[in-house]
Amino acid sequence: METTLIILKPDAVQRCLIGRIISRFEDKGLQVVGAKMMRISQQLAATHYESHKGKKFYDGLVRFMTSQPVVVLAVRGMGAIEISRKMMGATFGSKAEPGTIRGDFGVSNSFNLIHGSDSPESAKRELGLFFGPGEVVEYQRHLDHWIYDMSGKTPE
């Protein structure tokens, strides 16, 4: 099982899409194991997006991410990172396929609704930035045997 960070960005929050987006992850079979609404500080945004520092879009991105509340999620499941990235769709809403979050809800190339970790290393780093000890909860879902085939040695 993998756990990944998902951020519902200020545009998703302002457009009242929180429930609809979270439902997509749950409908897919992924488990929400952490959730909170917060305002991202300048320092946290700078740390989170440090790999983009110096790029043309960096200042605008930090300004946007700190402008209004966001919802941060810890989402768990087998292949959660890759599955979440596919569910989000292409970075720019204008290029995202219908059926994806960005494809169904976005048209802007600036406001793209959602962030998701792009690798296990990024997920570990990002989860540590946004969630403190005890804020990501381990719990057994009784329906997992209906989501994953548990008949073998490893779930699939």
The beta strands (E) that lie in 1-149 are given as 2-8, 31-38, 70-77, 114-116
The Cα–Cα gap between 5 and 136 comes to: 11
Q: Which among 48, 115, 142, 145 is annotated as catalytic?
A: 115
* Maximum Cα interatomic distance, the chain, rounded to a whole number of Å: 51
CA distance 137 to 23: 19
Q: What angle do CA 63, 88, 16 make, to 5 degrees?
A: 60
Please answer whether residues 71 and 8 qualify as being in contact, where contact means their C-beta atoms are separated by less than 8 angstroms: yes
115 is annotated as an active-site residue: yes
Q: Catalogue the active-site residues.
A: 115
